[in-house]
Amino acid sequence: MARSDHPSDVARILAEYQYDLPPEAIAQRPAEPRDAARLLVLPRAGVEKARHHHVRDLPELLAPGDLLVLNDTRVMLARLLGNKLPGGGKAEVLLVRELDGHYWEALVGCSGRKRPGLRIDLGGGYRIEVVEPLESATWKVALQGPGTAEELMASTGHVPLPPYIRRPDDAADRESYQTVFARRPGAVAAPTAGLHFTPGLLAALAKRGVECTHVTLHVGPGTFRPLEPEDLERGVLHEERYELPEKAARAIRAVRDRGGRIVAAGTTTTRVLETCEGRAGAGLTCLFIRPPYQPRIVDALLTNFHLPGSSLLMLVAAFVDRPRLLSAYAEALSQGYRFYSYGDAMLVL
């Protein structure tokens, strides 16, 4: 549901979600193995202190009968590097989503003014032509070349690492910036809580009696866009495509019937579950989860540590009191936890 704040409240709200993060706390590489990442366990209420574990301890922290919900989106190799035509100036294109035929929504970066008719040579006989501007600073572009967009990305595409990872992508990122259960291409950013899982950890959870099911949310570039005052005033966020299959809906009903908990792996999974309220469905969600929102479906949340002032940090604050949450962040920093996409994790129970 859309929600708005009086403009005079917006600056205060944004300020309430700031914290100091030293650059050295931002993870540049993932933990090896994946489930060796540290895990701060934070009870949702009461005075119980945060506890320090590792992601591999999840089978001990969850209970038989719980349902773990994972986002099975697959990150596309959507970052394309090329040169402007004519002239040869460097250019970059991030394919966001297919529109129809050879048309895509994309982010375009280059020197000089971006305009309809701009052409970018990607090599191998492929070109991008900018067609027209779209909302949210994206463009409609036409892909021209000997193959499909999927073939282009497979041959020359780069992993779209977040801007706070201060290095070029490499061959290792093609595996590490992808969950082990990714199967539905469409994301330009990873559902990062899911990056911590290994086949062995999933097997251990199943042995414990924790059931798993999957939903899909194709993470868009808006996840990295700074939160603007207008977002709070309008009460909605950028749109992202989702699907909650009937199989997942049945699993949710079953866990409710047996009195287990629904544990969301990540903020993306949470957006799907809360948008659909546990029912099967598909579409676009612009749901903005933040206090005083009360989660209707999700009982526990596994999530990474998020950017100051971000919508993702506000989402976590819908599960645990903001001062308590920021105190846990401060403790994590003091204990050397690693932040953001390749960093450590938090379990809010």
3-state helix, strand, coil in the chain (%, to 5): 30, 30, 40
Condensed to tens digits (0 to 9), the pLDDT of residues 289-304 reads 999 999 999 999 999 9
Predicted pLDDT of residue 137: 86
Q: Which of 160, 215, 210 is nearest to 341 (CA)?
A: 160
Residues 70 and 110 in one domain: no
What is the 8-class DSSP label of residue 56? G
The SS3 assignment for 7 reads helix
> What is the CATH classification number for the domain harbouring 16?
3.40.1780.10
> What is the CATH classification number for the domain harbouring 118?
2.40.10.240
Residues 152 and 193 in one domain: no
Q: How many domains does the chain have?
A: 2
Condensed to tens digits (0 to 9), the pLDDT of residues 106-124 reads 999 998 889 999 999 999 9
Element containing residue 265 per DSSP (H, E): strand 262-265
Condensed to tens digits (0 to 9), the pLDDT of residues 250-259 reads 999 999 999 9
Q: Is residue 163 part of a domain?
A: no
Q: How do beta strands 126-133 and 90-100 pair?
A: unpaired
Mean pLDDT of all residues belonging to the chain: 95
Joined tokens for residue 324:
């308590």
Residues 196 and 342 in one domain: yes
Q: Is residue 165 part of a domain?
A: no
CB 75 within 8 A of CB 183: no
Residues 69 and 92 in one domain: no
Q: Is residue 166 part of a domain?
A: no
Burial degree of 44 (CB within 10 A; 0-12, 13-18, 19+) = middle
Q: Is residue 152 part of a domain?
A: yes
Residues 184 and 55 in one domain: yes
Residues 91 and 34 in one domain: no
Residues 183 and 295 in one domain: yes
What whole-number distance in Å separates Cα of residue 266 and Cα of residue 71?
8
Q: Is residue 13 part of a domain?
A: yes
Predicted pLDDT of residue 45: 81
HSE toward the beta carbon, residue 340, CA cutoff 13 A: 21
In sequence order, what are the beta bridge partners of 52? Answer: 40
Residues 16 and 67 in one domain: yes
Joined tokens for residue 147:
């193959």
Q: Which of 317, 300, 307 is nearest to 343 (CA)?
A: 307
The SS3 assignment for 37 reads coil
Residues 119 and 56 in one domain: no
Residues 225 and 178 in one domain: yes
Please report which residue ranges of 157-297 form alpha helices under DSSP H: 173-176, 199-208, 229-234, 246-258, 267-276
Q: Whole domain around residue 109: which residue ranges?
A: 79-156
CB 93 within 8 A of CB 126: no
